[in-house]
Chains A and B, each alone.
Chain A
């Protein structure tokens, strides 16, 4: 089946540093999404990407839909302690709602 390879698995950074994480796949997708999940909560959408090559920002977050449609990255600039959580990439094909999720990146930010 379709799989997403998300890296890194975890990151320990100092407050103020920039963060970069990415997802790759051997399959082509039509949609790439980035979610953040905090303990006891469901995933919250950060950025949605719908076109190959699309670069989208949401505050300190920037994400891109790879031109090959097989990858995406998420950057967080000037990290703050509340950025702590698990970040998931998710990708969708032609079947609406059938999202494939990456394994997640656990982000820890030290004040």
Chain B
């Protein structure tokens, strides 16, 4: 199955600043997904990133707050902009794995963000 590297693994940031999270996959994938996991909660999809097109955002998430880049088929970034303590969460990227999603969806190990 695909191997995903996510950086940074954790960070503590000042409110009002921005953090860019990187997601690198060891194989070419069409679609990459960004999720948020708030403390003690489940995962919520933020957006879907396809190479060569604008990311598609889920309800409640906007591009100004969570800009996404997808420059090629193995890499994507998510920026958390103008952060507030409410943005403290684990952010995870995910990819479809295998032909016809044979291996489901694989997740990176996540970026644990704390905003102070």
Contact = CB atoms under 8 A, between A and B. Distances in A.
A1 interface: yes
Interface residues of A, number: 21
Interface residues of B, number: 28
Given A98-B45, A103-B42, A42 B108 contact: yes
Interface string A82-111: 000000101000001111011110000000
Contacts of B59: 1
Contacts of A42: 4, 6, 92, 107-110
A97 B96 contact: yes
A9 B92 CA distance: 22
A35 B43 CA distance: 11
B104 A48 contact: yes
Nearest to A1: B59
Nearest to B60: A1
A101 B90 CA distance: 15
Contacts of A41: 109-110
A24 interface: no
A29 to B, nearest CB: 13
Interface of A: 1, 31, 33, 35, 40-45, 48, 88, 90, 96-99, 101-104
